[in-house]
Every structure is written in structure tokens, then in C-alpha cells.
Amino acid sequence: MKIDTSSYLLYFVLVLTGGILGYLISQANHPFHQIIITIESSMPLETQLFYDTGKNFNENDSIRKVIYEANTPVVLDFEFSGPNLFGLRFDPSRSPAKIKIHEIVLLYQDEKPFAVPLDSLKAVNDIKSLHYNGETVTIETTKTAADPILYLTRLGPAPRLTPFIIITRILASAVVALGMAFLIVWVYRNGLRV
Amino acid sequence: MKKHLVFLSLFIVFLIYFVWNSSWHLPSQLVIKGQTASPMAVRVNWDSGSGFNDMESVDLVFGKSVAANAGSGIVRIRRVGKSHPAAKSTEVWVKALKRSQDEHPMDLKAFTEQRGIEMTAEGYLHLKADGSELQVSAGRGYIEFCFVANEIAGFVEIDLDGDKRLYDLYAEQPQDKWLKRDRETFAPGNFTARVSLPRYDINRIQIEAMDGLQAFRLDTVTILSKKGELTLPVRGKGLFSDITFSEVPRNTRQFFHAIQFIQQFGFAALCTHILFCLLRFIRSRGGVKNVLIGQKRIVFWLMFSGAFLCFSFWLLAYWPGHLTSDSIHIWWAAKNPGYFLHEHPFINILYYRFLQQIWDNFAVVGLFQMFATSLLGSYIFYNLYKNGLPFILIIPFYLWLITSVPIGLYNITLWKDIPFALLVVFWAYYFVRLRLTKLNDCNKEPQMGFFTLFFMLLCVSLFRYNGLIYLILIPLGLAVNQRIALKKIAVVSLLVLLIAVASILFTSIMAKHDFVLGMTKKFTVRLLNTNFIININNIAKNYPHFFDDQNKYTWYRDDEFVKWHNAFAKDKKYNDFVKYQDYRPKSEAIFNFLNGFMRSSHIRPYVWLSWNPFYLLYLFLLGFFYKWFPLVFAYGYVLLTQTFFILMFLLAFSVSTSFDWRYNYYLFLSGFFLIPLVMLDIKGNWQKHLMKA
């Protein structure tokens, strides 16, 4: 098929548009994620989950949840959105307490649930003991605990917006646009023949 | 053969896309089963892509409903003596009490006689010690409580006839906490709650207790429809105060509805036809390059791009467009497969339905109207330029058009007045073109095929009911101009007339009220009962004030307006088909600039360039001097007849012409091209004079 200048122009404009659209989509997509923690505490307390989306752990990227009922398993459902997740930090209380974690499940959008191995929790601050019995993990904070901190060292298929993903999306959009350009040129060439 | 194959392929591509892109869901219910230690108010939210919000939610109570009127009607407010882990005390203060039957809040002094209650210096009721109880008579419908929430406030229990619920009054920053209890009471224990789910796609469902202190256990959460029952996975075993389901399988998706499919068939045919017309146009002009730059068309493309760019800023500022209750109603009807509203012309519903096939977002209407206004405006200016009007004289009017506040705002507004105005201006300028070809002794008529003629006449007649007058005016004008075959005009007119009559009769029968017929009858009777000369006199008096309504702020928007719109959609249950959309501006900087620009456009003297260019109304009258202003006459034939009709109609019904500015939008839009037309007429007269000389 002989291709003239106008066809080249059309191809170029559509591929460029497709590429730009692909880039915009890759930047605008903010999937939702859930962290579900089944927890039991010896007393009512306030917990806080920090998520690092590339800005390190900070107060703005955190969620607080209160356990009002002592000695009863409570399910805490934390939700946040973002294209990246680099780390999770769980502050189980702001005061001395004995806490039992039954389960931690990470639910990333479009991924299967990931059950965090409880033996992978890492005590960072104000934690007196951290004991895993094969089913649950029991945490005891220090008597003067003001800010007990746990790190989740296993995050499963955590979302990452890598340059590879961005480039792949740009290329995919450009290919779709190129296909459309071929279709339009084909229609233009053949559609009006008598 | 190949041509037909291509046509068919394209048609199928469009049809498949429209069917695929317009799916909906069968009615389904979320069924929640569980237990609760005390009844609790719960909100079920769903997210269709814009996050959880008030519009996409349902409030309900977890617990077993207790028979009404069995209680004492006394509400007991108790200081429990417990508090949030971060609270420094367990205090409870009541700031206000208001019952449904009272106009004002109750006088709190009357309660200070109760044991354990004191009045504070601020005028609040203080429950002095843990266990203190305040008794209040319940409202007939409901009672509202305002508590002080701060860092030393504790839990409060509100007990209405045994329905005891706990609330946490702790807050890091002092604030009011309003609670509401109606007379319906519930008992703790097992519960089954049902929520009707919307008919569009949802990404997430959230169940949350209105107060984090209240917790429930879940047995099962299922989605029930006529296709069966699907269980949602409840992750974690224990007490919940909120839970979110990020997978919502429903098995209820539908693609095919006979009436909807017939319309999609028509839409696909229309798109294919338009695409082919476009391709044919490109080929007839010698290719893409010639279309872009041949015959100085670059002027058109530059004007078109500039206009579209300027108009798009308004959409970015007031994303995703502007709606009123009427717009929401019609959008909802258009989303409802196979459904037609009977209070509005059916073309209006088809218009939204067609655009929804392309993109199910309010913004699609704004984008289309911006495109259409840019296209029509740029075309008219370009055509005037081609007909000899110097470009330097066109530029100011083009700039006036693209920077016009009303045009920018109306382009993004979901009212039928906008497409109607575009159609009226299209027809008005079509008559100008007919006149131009006659004046230039050009035999090549402005082309309009059978289908285009039919389509444009149908749309202008039935987008608004006052367009019905064009069923007579346009065919008559075309016949007088003798540029389109009489047979073609007659067949098209008859077809459109038949469709208009059938749709109006169908409307009257289905809606069980005769809006159009009733109004026509009333109008005719009133018209016959009034003096013709007085009527004409009144029209003449009111005509110069046709654009006067600007102080009423027909177009108005702020946060409250948006909240009202969402509440309206929820209240009318339109949220079963109408999704919530994020109304935040796409650019704060553009919003701040344009919002300020919009507000100052109502102030004198700017208003005479924006909302009230009253001087143009006098210029339209130049058309009466047909000999010297043949183009203005042709233009005014379509426009002034409508104005005359509207004024006549309004004066027949009420002495005042106080009505929505938006009804005049067609005349306002046409005004931007009027002065260039007058100049072209003057130029033509001058050339004639020179030739004679």
C-alpha cells in the first residue's frame, strides 16, 4: 500500500496522542488497598497504621483506629490508595498493653489477598516481647511505652509504579492508536470507492 | 461492494462499542446478616469510581425492629463513665435538644431540676457524675441532640424505650456532635439488613457504624438478585465497626434491551454516516492536507482550536459540567434502558443517551457542546471571511465569542437550551448562506442531503417545544428560496410533522397529562381573547428587555449547589442509575480566575458585553429594511420569529416577561455574528453603489 504524507501525519498524530494518553493513565491510576488486622488487646487502645508511598512514614499517610472492647478479637480495616507502597508500620498502642495479633491480610487492588506471615513482624520501638506461637503473635509493650512500633517486613505483591510499567503503558496505548490509524486510513482509502 | 463492506464493518464496530459500553445491572440487594450487642445506626456506602460519598450511600439500623407506639416516649441520656483511650475524662455536656415538632431548640433550663444535672456558664447541661441521667420527652418524629465533643468528653448512652446506644464524644479539637434518634426502636441480637444496590458498576462496598464505638459481628454478606445469591468474603473473625469489600461480584450485568438496542442501532448508523460524510468531504477537497490548509482553511482551524481551548477552561473549572434538577432527571431517564420521560421532548433524552454511549460521564455533554459551538462559530466567521469580510473586522467578534462568560458557562451546562440554540443559529445561518449564493449569482446551493435536512429539522423542532414553530417556518423559507427541490422539502416536512405529532400524542397518553396540547389550547384561547394591537404593543415594549434577566443569576454554582444536587438525586432515588461524580475543579488556579471573572461579568458596565448586549436587539431590526440588509433579514427570519413567538406566548400567559434568561440563549448566541453580517450587508450595498456609479 502506498502511503502518502497525510497518512504519515495521521499516524504520527494518533501514535503521539496514544502515547500521551498512556502516560496520563499510568500517572492518574490510584488503586485502593486494604490492610485487615484481627487483633485482641488487654485494654481499650488506639492503633495507628503508617503507609510509605514514597514520602517515608508521616502523620498524613496514616490511619488511626480504636479498639474499644478489651479481650475480644476485633477486625481493623485500614484503607488507602496510591500507585506505590514501599513500607507499612503498625503502632499497636500509645500506652503499655498486651496485644495479640491473630491475622494480617493485605488486599491490593487486582491482586489476590496476601496473608502476612506473623513471624515476619519486626519490633522497632517500645516492644518488650514479641512471641509467635505458630498461630498468633503476642506483643507486650514496655512499661513506659509511649510509641510502640512494629514493621511489616513482608508486603507481598505491593504496588510499584516502575519506569518499566510506565513505558509499557505508553507503548500499549501507542500501539492501540496505531491500529486505529490503520483502520481510519483503510476506511479512507477503501470506503469511498464506487 | 468494498465500500459497502467498509460501511458495514464500521457500523458493526460502533454498534459493538455502544452495546459493550452501555451495560447495566439487574436489580440486586445487599443482604447483611449478623449480631449486635446493641442496636446501631450504620451507613452502607458504595464507590463507583469517585470514592465513598453521601450520594452513594444508605443509612439503616442493625438490630431487630420493635413494634411502634409500645414505648414510654422518654429518652434517657446517661453518662456512662467510660471514654476513648486518648480521652482525659468522661464528661458529658448537652448543648442543644430539638424535637421534630418544635420550631426552636428546647429550653435547657427546665432540665436543671433533674438530679445530677447542672447548667454551665456557657448554658450547656452538664451530667455531673458517672451514672448521671437526663430524661427528655422524645419528639413525635425524631429528636436531635447536640453534645460537646472534646478531649475530656466520654461516652454517652441514649436510651429510648430500651433501645440503648452508646456514642463516643471524644474529639481532639472541640466541636459539636449532632445525633438524631427517631421513634422507631430496635432490640439487640441477630439482624438481617437489606440494601438495594445501584444498577451501574461499583468497585467497592463499605459497611460502617456511624459511631466507631459501636461494633457488630457478621455472619454473611451476600448479593441477592434474580440470577441467584453471591457471598462476599468476610475477612477476619471478630467485632467490626467497619468493613470494606473491594470485590463486588454481581453476575447481573445486562447488555441487551430491545428498545435500547434499536436506539443503539440508530446511533451506530448515525456515527457511520457522519464518519463517511467526513471522509467524503476530505476526499472531495483533495485530501487531508487541503482540508487543513487549502482555501485558507487554516483560518478556520486556528479559530476552531482557539475556541475549543478557551471553552475547555470552563469545563476544567466547573468539572464535570453544570446540572440542575431537570438535567439530572433527564440524565437518569437516558441511563434507564428503554425508558422515556414524558415531560420532556424525546429528542432531549435521545441526545443524552447518544452521548452516554460514547462516555458515561456528565462531562461528555460539555465536551460535545464546546465542540459544536467552536465548530459552528468558527465556520460562520470563516464563511463570512470567504464571502469578502476582511479578517481584521472578524477578529474582535471572534475574540468576543470565545471569551464570553455566558457562552463558556452554557457550553458546559446540561440544558436543552444549548443544543436548541446551536440548531437555531445553524438554521439562521443556513438561510444567510442561501441568500449569499443568490446575491453572488452562484448556482451552487449550500448542500443539504435528504437525511441531513430531515435530521436537522427534526432536532430543531423537537429539542424544545417552542421549536415546533420551525416545522412551518423552515420548510416555508426553503420553498421561497427555491434552492432545494420542493418535493424533497415536502416529504421531509411531512415526515417530521408525523413524528412530532406521534411523539406529542404518545407523551400525552403515557404521562396522562396533555402538556403540549393543553398549553397550545390555553395559549390560543388567551390569544383570541386579547386585543391583537395591545399584544403587539406589549411585545414591542418588552423586546428591548429580552436579555435583562442577568441579576437573577440563572447560572449559579457553589459548594452548596453541588451538595443540593447530590441530595436531590439521592432523595428522588435517581442514584440507582446516576453515579456520583467528583465536582472538584480540575485546576484550582483556573477555577479561581474564572469564578472571579464569572462574578464580575454580572456587574455594570461589563454586563453589557456579557449577559445583556441589549444594543444587538436593535440591530436585529435592520432586517426589516430588507432591500439594504438582505443577510440580516435572512438571519432574523429564523431568530426574530422565535423571539416574537416566545414574547407572545409569555405575554399571553402573564403580563410580565420575567422568565429564565436561558430561554433567550439562542438569540444571545446569534448576536455574536450579527454585526459582521451587518458589515457584509453594508459592504455589498457599497459595491452595488460603486458598480452603478
For A95-104, B311-320, B482-491, B588-597, which range has the lowest pLDDT when averaged over its residues? B482-491
B246 contacts A109? CB cut-off 8 A: yes
CB of A72 less than 8 A from some CB of B:
yes
Which pLDDT score is estimated for B289? 78
Cβ atoms of B332 and B578 within 8 Å: the answer is: yes
Separation in Å, CA of A162 to nearest CA in chain B: 24
pLDDT at A75 over 50: yes
- Contact yes or no for A193 and B289 at CB 8 A: no
Helix H segments across A4-155? 5-28
CB contact under 8 A, A191 and B6: yes
Which element (helix H / strand E) includes B409? helix B405-411
Alpha-carbon distance values, B414 to A123, B326, B328, B351, B369 (Å): 57, 9, 9, 11, 9
pLDDT tier at B484 (50, 70, 90 boundaries)? confident
* Angstrom distance (rounded) from CA B322 to CA B338: 25
Quote the minimal CA–CA distance from B267 to chain A in Å.
Answer: 19
Nearest chain B CA: its distance from A75 CA (Å): 5
CA distance B590 to chain A (A): 20
Joined grid coordinates for residue B395: 477578529
B512 pLDDT higher than 70? no
Contact A193 B238 (CB under 8 A): no
Q: What is the pLDDT of residues B377-427, one digit of tens each?
A: 999 999 999 999 999 999 999 999 999 999 999 999 999 999 999 999 999
CA-nearest residue of chain A to B214?
Answer: A68
- pLDDT at residue B2, rounded to an integer: 73
Interface test with B, best of A38, A64, A68 (most B CBs within 10 A): A68
Mean pLDDT of chain B: 90
pLDDT category, B555, cuts 50, 70, 90?
confident
ipTM reported for the complex, 2 dp: 0.87
Q: How far apart are the first and last CA of chain A?
A: 19
How close B133 gets to chain A, by Cα (Å)?
Answer: 22
Give dist(CA B117, CA B417) in Å, integer.
61
Find, in chain A, the residue whose alpha carbon is nearest to that of B291. Answer: A6
DSSP letter, residue B398: H
For residues A93 and A67, what is the distance between their CA atoms, to the nearest angstrom?
Answer: 9
For residue A2, give the 3-state DSSP assignment: coil
Residue % of chain B over a pLDDT of 90: 61
Cβ atoms of B115 and B125 within 8 Å: the answer is no
d(CA B621, CA B684): 18
Query: Are the Cβ atoms of B240 and A188 closer than 8 angstroms?
Result: no
Before B320, cis peptide (omega within 30)? yes
Cβ pair A6:B3 closer than 8 A: no
The one-character DSSP state at B99 is: E
How far is the alpha carbon of A95 from chain B, nearest alpha carbon, in Å? 9
As separate numbers, helices (DSSP H) first and strands (DSSP E) second, chain B gives 21, 22
Instruction: Give the closest-approach CA distance of A22 to chain B in angstroms.
Output: 18
Strand ranges (DSSP E) for B543-628?
none
* Contact criterion met (CB below 8 Å) for B130 and B116: no
pLDDT, residue B68, reads 63
Contact of A190 with chain B, judged by CB distance below 8 Å, is answered with yes
CB of A63 within 8 Å of any CB in chain B?
no
**Starting at the edge strand that comes first in sequence, how are the strands of the sheet with A45-52 ordered?**
A62-67, A45-52, A87-91, A149-152, A121-125
Who's near A110: CB < 8 A, 6+ residues apart? A31
Give, as one character, the DSSP assignment of residue B638. Answer: H
Taking only the tens place, the pLDDT of each residue in A144-166 is 888 899 999 999 988 888 888 88
Partner-chain residue, chosen from B3, B204, B235, that has the shortest CB–CB distance to A113: B235
- B430 within 8 A of B460, measured Cβ to Cβ: no
What is the CB-side half-sphere exposure of residue B521 using CA atoms within 13 A? 5
B28-36/B40-47 β-pairing: unpaired
Is the CB of A38 inside 8 Å of chain B's CB atoms? yes
By the CB < 8 Å criterion, does A147 face chain B? no
Nearest CA in chain B to A103: B236
Q: How far lies B468's CA from each of B245, B459, B519, B546, in Å?
A: 52, 10, 13, 21
Q: Is A122 in contact with A150 (CB distance < 8 Å)? A: yes
Q: Is B33 exposed, middle or buried (0-12, 13-18, 19+ CB in 10 A)?
A: middle
A73/B168 CB distance under 8 A: no
Chain B interface residues facing chain A, Cβ-Cβ under 8 Å? 2-3, 6-7, 10, 84-86, 168, 203-204, 212-213, 215, 235-244, 246, 275-276, 279-280, 282-283, 287-289
B578: Cβ contacts below 8 Å, ≥ 6 apart: B328, B331, B332, B335, B569
Cβ neighbours for A109, distance < 8 A, ≥ 6 positions apart = A31, A32, A33, A159, B246
pLDDT at A194: 39
Report d(CA B403, CA B401) in Å as an integer.
Answer: 6
Whether omega before B630 lies within 30 degrees of 0, making that bond cis, reads no
By C-alpha distance, the chain A residue nearest B84 is: A68
First to last CA, chain B: 59
- What percent of chain A is modeled with pLDDT above 70? 94
State mean pLDDT over A118-136.
Answer: 90
**Weakest-pLDDT range from B283-297, B410-424, B676-690:** B283-297
CA-nearest residue of chain B to A40? B238
Contact across the interface for B287 and A4, Cβ inside 8 Å: yes
In the structure, what pLDDT confidence band is assigned to residue B138 with cuts at 50, 70 and 90?
A: confident
> CA-to-CA distance for A126 and A43, rounded, in angstroms?
17
**What is the rounded average pLDDT of the residues B263-278?**
93
